[in-house]
Homo-oligomer: A and B are copies of this chain.
Amino acid sequence: MASTQDHARLDDQLCFALYAASRAISGAYRQLLADIGLTYPQYLAMLSLWEKSGQSVAELGDALDLESSTLSPLIRRLESLGLVRRQRSDEDERMVHVHVTDAGWKLESRTAPVRQQVETSTGLSDTEFATLREALHHLRATVQGHPASSL
């Protein structure tokens, strides 16, 4: 019967597989990050800031692929948690640099077990993990290089 139907099936869609898997992973992180007091997007922003403290909002937006309209409130919440500090640039007063505070640095080591637990829960080998990650990075780059106007 399934072979005779002309509907596009939800479970056949790559987009849905991606959407559902992404929410499943963020859900796994959510529970564990709750102990630390971070949401999942906040955790990703902190990951980027631990890697490079002092990024401007635009730089962080580049790294996370997010708009300033999303990041501004998120950074404000991180600031109110005392994890980061905003500093307006001296050279260019349009820019705001986001610095990790002492409290922010202290949090870094506490996230390692969270990462470990979620990675274990995926059941993937290191190779599978890396292969899937690169496939997804490549997919994103390809789709973003295909703006709707060119289709």
Contact = CB atoms under 8 A, between A and B. Distances in A.
B7 A65 contact: no
Interface string A100-114: 000000001001100
A25 B129 contact: no
A22 B137 CA distance: 10
A93 B151 CA distance: 47
Interface string A124-150: 100001001111110110111010100
Interface string A10-30: 111111111111111110110
Given A7-B51, A12-B133, A44 B19 contact: yes
B26 A15 contact: yes
A118 interface: yes
Interface residues of A, number: 60
A123 B142 contact: yes
B112 A8 contact: yes
24 contacts: A8-B50, A8-B112, A8-B115, A10-B48, A11-B137, A13-B133, A14-B25, A15-B25, A15-B26, A15-B118, A17-B133, A18-B21, A18-B136, A20-B64, A20-B65, A20-B140, A21-B22, A24-B65, A24-B143, A25-B139, A32-B148, A118-B143, A122-B142, A123-B146
